[in-house]
């Protein structure tokens, strides 16, 4: 298992963990979160298998919002669990 440099990976949070939430319709959710004043840490990253963005909750915890493309994601991980 590869160790992650938590100082950089979890910043700007001071915690050594990140919450990961699988969601639908990332673009619309981000628009609504911006309207509500939620801290958006970065911009949406798009890959062929998923989209990601990071936000901070009121307690300073970093949250990764993840919208997978289920078909492409399954292709990527197929056979890796066995």
Residue 32 has pLDDT above 90, yes or no: yes
CATH number of the domain encompassing residue 34: 3.10.180.10
Q: For residue 45, what are the domain limits?
A: 18-77
pLDDT for res 45:
95
Q: Is position 6 within any domain? A: no
pTM score, two decimals? 0.77
CA dist 20 and 4 (Å) reads: 16
pLDDT for res 56:
95
Least confident of 16-20, 39-43, 64-68: 16-20
Q: Per-residue pLDDT averaged across 36-65, rounded?
A: 94
Instruction: Record the tokens describing residue 66, joined without a space.
Output: 């993840």
Q: Is position 38 within any domain? A: yes
Query: What are the distances in angstroms from CA 65 to CA 21, 43, 55, 68?
Result: 5, 11, 8, 10
Q: Is position 8 within any domain? A: no
Q: Per-residue pLDDT averaged across 25-47, rounded?
A: 96
Domain count, the chain: 1
């Amino acid at each position: 298992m590869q160790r992650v440099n938590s100082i950089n990976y979890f910043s700007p949070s001071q915690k050594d963990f990140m919450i990961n939430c699988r969601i639908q319709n990332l673009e619309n959710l981000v628009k609504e979160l911006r309207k509500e004043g939620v801290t958006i840490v970065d911009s949406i990253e798009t890959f062929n298998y998923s989209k990601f963005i990071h936000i901070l909750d009121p307690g300073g915890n970093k949250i990764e919002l993840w919208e997978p493309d289920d078909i492409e994601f399954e292709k990527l991980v197929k056979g890796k669990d066995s």
